[in-house]
């Protein structure tokens, strides 16, 4: 017997305006077995800071790899 799944999380590839995301919400609502589609929390400064830190950390790691392995 296989496990049963109760819910799915959808993560967007970028921040989308609330009025522009409504068509996505409506499309997901039309999928078979979907009962409820809820919008996530609005983007705030904490989100932007976390993304900026992640980009800086990744950039630093890439630079370190390049410097450790010269051609």
What's the pLDDT score for residue 30?
95
Helix ranges, 1-71 (H): 18-29, 45-68
Q: What is the CA radius of gyration of the chain?
A: 19
* Ordered mean pLDDT values, 10 residues apiece, the chain (71 residues): 89 90 94 91 87 92 84 62
Q: Tokens at residue 1, please?
A: 């017997």
**Residue indicated by tokens 């409506």:** 26
What's the pLDDT score for residue 43?
86
| CA atoms of 39 and 37, how far apart (whole Å) | 7
What's the pLDDT score for residue 39?
87
What's the pLDDT score for residue 34?
94
Contact 43, 15 (CB under 8 A): yes
What's the pLDDT score for residue 70?
61
């Amino acid at each position: 017997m296989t496990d049963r799944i109760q819910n799915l999380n959808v993560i967007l590839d970028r921040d989308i305006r609330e009025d522009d995301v409504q068509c996505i919400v409506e499309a997901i609502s039309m999928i078979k077995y979907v009962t409820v589609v809820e919008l996530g929390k609005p983007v705030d400064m904490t989100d932007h800071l976390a993304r900026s830190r992640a980009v800086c950390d990744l950039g630093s790691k890439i630079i370190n790899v390049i410097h450790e392995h010269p051609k």
